[in-house]
Amino acid sequence: MKLTPGKLKGLKAVSNKKGVIAAAAMDQRGSLQKSIAKEKGVADDQVTPEMMSEFKTAVTRILTPYASAILLDPEFGLGASKKRSKNAGLLLAYEKTGYDQVEKGRFPLLLPDWTVRRLKEAGADCIKILLYYSPFEDAKVNDRKHAWVERIGAECVAHDIPFFLEFVGYDPKGGDEKGPEFAKIKPAVVIKSMEEFSKKQYFVDVLKVEVPVNTAYVEGTRAFKGPAAQTKKEALAIYKQAAKGTKKPFIYLSAGVSNNQFTENLELAAEAGVKFNGVLCGRATWKEGIPIYAKQGLKALEDFLNTEGVKNIQSVNKALESASPWWKAYR
């Protein structure tokens, strides 16, 4: 694989000196609004755009000195992007929050007023897209999703900017993605998705992936609560198998788990000998600040971020010591 000058520049901007992507994520929109509203005991629409921006700005300003980059959205995060540390690059999200609620299949939607060109002009070093994807979904549904990703990949090629594709697995039959039954099929969902989007026609530069197991159901882990979907030995083999399915750089997402569980996920990757290239870690570092902000205000959130938030991101950074430089994939 070869990199064009623009893509090389963008990847360097969001990684540290070792070539590892140690990025924070703060592009949550609908889920963040709902969570703040719930903690406040108000309707979702009473969480104003100003409140969303205020929360994002606090997270960005306080945590980016410890990150190589920050992922934000152009809807509420552009102001926050101006407050990031000078060492931190910027990824901007291109998709609307959630997915199409009319058609079945969790079809993605793009922000109607944005293009890759406009995001790049707004300061983006890289473009990020989130796609809900299952290899076990109806073939016609997935064909549309494949075409959608191809178009975005081509748009990023045209504007010479790196394309980060995040895919989140789900059960087409409507099962609980956090439950023990999905934990049994999650390895296949992640592995097959990584293989699919490593194909040349998508022009993806970095895969943003879930860890291929749910450690809450991996017997022998600290996070284990049961019932067992895999043993720890099986889980390590699954990590290895997933990594073999791509030659692209890939980074792990935290997927809303606790900081302790996410760091254990990274420790398992290291134990399995996986050459992952970093993280885009969001809620594992700052989600405990949501009720604090909702009930006590901005100053209390800032106090939390300056103590527990910094401690959380530093623990992730420590777990990243085993990560491999992204540029090794391009040798």
| H-only helix segments in 112-217 | 116-121, 139-158, 180-196
* 213-264 residue pLDDT tens: 999 999 999 999 999 999 999 999 999 999 999 999 999 998 888 999 999 9
Bond prior to 227 in cis (omega within 30° of 0): yes
Query: Average pLDDT, whole number, for the chain?
Result: 96
Chain centroid to CA 193: 15
List the CATH number of the domain containing 31: 3.20.20.70
**Is residue 187 a contact partner of residue 34, using CB atoms and an 8 Å limit?**
no
pTM of the model: 0.96
Q: Is the pLDDT of residue 1 over 70?
A: no
**Total number of domains in the chain:** 1
Distances (CA, A) of 318 to 213, 278, 321: 21, 11, 6
Q: Is 178 helix (H, G, I), strand (E, B) or coil?
A: coil
* 4-33 residue pLDDT tens: 999 999 999 999 999 999 999 999 999 999
* 121-138 residue pLDDT tens: 999 999 999 999 999 999
Q: Is 165 helix (H, G, I), strand (E, B) or coil?
A: strand
**Is residue 285 a contact partner of residue 316, using CB atoms and an 8 Å limit?**
yes
